[in-house]
């Protein structure tokens, strides 16, 4: 009989997990060809604006395969509803039987995305993080900041949001644990931070090449469809190292897709995250390098976190 795990219990189970290590292992399995991850299924909506991603796959010779449905409907906060929604389905890889339904309401997608950001910082950040820059004021913006504190603590934050009221609310919710500066423009964030997370659903570039100083790491999270773009493509041509969580996905979505489409970079310049994790020569080699890590979200992340939650539940 299938198990159903609801959001409150999922949150309690996730607390005990090392999600950053799980994401690292997932990316390694993916880049080493030890997983099966078909192209993303996608539904795009205009009124109200939203997108639904269906991601699925399995790690070879593992116990499960996973199907994940996650959505982002960006007017939801006006209704008092979180913009992210969804669930994960865990099936027995040997029999096809449904073993577990994770009614996570998009929470596990948020957690695994934030953990991937921490993986990027672990391997590509400058040695001294002067300040963390964040574009966006939503759930993912906050999770990226909080997840980072476990291994790369930095309390100085430069924040920009399209809605200044949301930026003030974000700062208030963080309390006195962080020194948060609210920027009036994205370029002000870039001038003051050398690790920047972009977490918005923008379809127009927010950061320009002239904004980015030497030594900066940009972790691009928001651009996960063919229409979204937070970085001017010239930033990627200026970068010393370009990392994609999935090279196949970068051919149809994300910042790398945008930059290749306009001829700013060549796809051959891109290194896959799982390969770079295993080879220090593909990571940061000096403090002046500009590095862009493009995270479009890969099903192997969902496989890893769903299986980890279920294993913890069965203990």
pLDDT of residue 153: 85
pLDDT of residue 224: 87
- pTM strictly above 0.75: yes
- Confidence band of 315 (pLDDT split at 50, 70, 90): confident
pLDDT digits (tens, 9 = 90+) for 176-217: 889 999 999 999 999 999 999 999 999 999 999 999 999 999
Percent pLDDT > 90 in the chain is 92
Instruction: Output the average pLDDT for the chain.
Output: 95
pLDDT digits (tens, 9 = 90+) for 57-91: 999 999 999 999 999 898 998 899 888 899 999 99
pLDDT of residue 94: 95
pLDDT of residue 288: 94
pLDDT of residue 302: 97
Residue 107 · residue 11 · CB < 8 Å: yes
pLDDT digits (tens, 9 = 90+) for 215-247: 999 999 999 889 999 999 999 999 999 999 999
* pLDDT average, residue stretch 295-315: 95
pLDDT of residue 239: 97
Q: Is the pLDDT of residue 1 over 80?
A: no
């Amino acid at each position: 009989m299938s198990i159903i795990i609801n959001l409150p219990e999922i949150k309690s189970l996730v607390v005990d997990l090392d999600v950053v290590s799980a994401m690292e292992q997932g990316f390694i399995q993916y880049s080493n060809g030890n997983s099966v991850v078909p192209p993303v299924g996608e539904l795009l909506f205009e009124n109200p604006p939203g997108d639904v991603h269906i991601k699925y796959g399995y790690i070879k010779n593992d116990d499960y395969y996973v199907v994940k449905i996650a959505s982002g409907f960006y007017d939801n906060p006006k209704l008092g509803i979180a913009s992210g929604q969804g669930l994960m389905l865990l099936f027995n890889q040997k029999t096809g039987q449904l073993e577990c339904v994770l009614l996570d309401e998009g929470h596990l997608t948020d957690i695994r995305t934030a953990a991937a950001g921490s993986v990027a910082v672990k391997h590509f950040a400058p040695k001294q993080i002067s300040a963390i820059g964040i574009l966006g004021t939503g759930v993912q913006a906050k999770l990226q900041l909080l997840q980072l504190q476990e291994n790369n603590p930095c309390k100085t934050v430069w924040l920009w949001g399209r809605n200044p009221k949301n930026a003030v609310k974000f700062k208030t919710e963080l309390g006195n644990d962080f020194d948060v500066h609210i920027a009036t423009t994205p370029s002000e964030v870039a001038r003051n931070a050398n690790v920047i997370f972009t977490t918005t659903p923008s379809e127009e570039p927010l950061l320009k090449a002239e904004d980015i100083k030497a030594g900066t790491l940009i972790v691009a999270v928001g651009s996960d469809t063919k229409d979204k773009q937070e970085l001017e493509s010239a930033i990627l041509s200026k970068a010393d190292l370009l990392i994609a969580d999935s090279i196949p996905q970068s051919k149809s979505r994300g910042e790398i897709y945008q930059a290749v489409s306009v001829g700013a970079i060549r796809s051959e310049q891109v290194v896959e995250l799982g390969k770079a994790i295993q080879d220090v020569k593909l990571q940061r080699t000096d403090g002046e390098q500009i590095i862009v890590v493009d995270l479009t979200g890969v099903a192997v992340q969902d496989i890893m976190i769903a299986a980890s939650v279920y294993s913890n539940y069965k203990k």
